[in-house]
Amino acid sequence: MAATTEVGQERPATPMRSLERALDVLEVLQRHTEPMRLSEVARAAGLNPATTLRILAVLAARGYVVSEGKAHRLGPAVLSAAHGFLVSDVLTRTASPVLRELAASTSLTVSLYERVGFERVLVARVDGAEPMRYQLPVGRRLPLHLGAGKALAVDMDDVELAALAEHVRQLGEDAPVDVAALRGDLDALSERGFHVSVSERETGIVAASVPVRDASGRVIAAVSAAGPAEKHPREQMVEHAEEVRRAASAIGRSLPRAR
């Protein structure tokens, strides 16, 4: 989202600002499941309506946006771009058999997330034998400070955590981030190697999440195994966490070193 204080007061122009503005608009539309009016897009992106309208027109001409009357939504070209990612991404290809094995052994729904800025994106999912009461679609943007996001944020320093809290504040969709409590959770995750969340992002869902590290030790993804809290007490998820840790380690070892 654009860093502005009021709609219409945009950052000074830079050589890449036009591209940044277009990406701001696309990210706004990604976060909304319903079509948005021009004024809503402009406000969320921190741009004035005239600039926003020009960007929407360019994106519509390329198929990345569909404008229907006064409403705007993502277009089919976004799906084509997502397909290109899914067929070429080494991480998801490497992780797929491991995720399937983990889902089969635990009966839980297994997910793989990658970090995008101060958020995370679901890049792969394998449903377990026990149906979840909701379906989380691949490609969904989710918070970095809740649930499995903590496995991606585990190595963030205090400056990054403050920036994360500010990002959440600007989005205005969640309660303020308690940075001190988050720091405590991340320290505990770093010590134990996993995080168990109960109704943390979604009420009634329990999950065990583990960071995936490459050969250099850098966090590149997070693996999460989740199920209904009424069927899986926290103590059981702590036991499953060891299986999730083995899966995350197997994915990390299998990745090409050049990644």
Q: What is the spatial distance between Cα 34 and Cα 56, in angstroms, rounded to a whole number?
A: 16
Please determine whether the domains at 17-79 and 89-254 fall in the same fold group of CATH: no
| pLDDT of the residue at 259 | 41
Q: What is the spatial distance between Cα 143 and Cα 132, in angstroms, rounded to a whole number?
A: 20
Q: What is the spatial distance between Cα 97 and Cα 103, in angstroms, rounded to a whole number?
A: 10
pLDDT tens, position by position, 27-50: 999 988 899 999 999 999 999 999
| pLDDT of the residue at 4 | 43
pLDDT tens, position by position, 134-181: 777 888 889 999 999 999 999 999 999 999 999 998 887 667 899 999
| pLDDT of the residue at 57 | 95
Domain ranges of the chain: 17-79, 89-254
How much of the chain exceeds pLDDT 90, in percent?
69
Task: Quickly count: other Cβ atoms within 10 Å of residue 206's Cβ.
Answer: 25
Q: What is the spatial distance between Cα 167 and Cα 3, in angstroms, rounded to a whole number?
A: 9
pLDDT at 81 over 60: yes
Q: Is the pTM above the cut of 0.85?
A: no
Q: What CATH class does 89-254 carry?
A: alpha beta
Task: Quickly count: other Cβ atoms within 10 Å of residue 106's Cβ.
Answer: 24
- Give me the residue label for tokens 């010590």: 191
Task: Quickly count: other Cβ atoms within 10 Å of residue 234's Cβ.
Answer: 12
Classified by CATH at the fold level, domain 17-79 comes out as: Arc Repressor Mutant, subunit A (1.10.10)
| pLDDT of the residue at 135 | 74
Is 247 in contact with 117 (CB distance < 8 Å)?
Answer: no
| pLDDT of the residue at 173 | 65
- Segment 221-226 shows an average pLDDT of 96
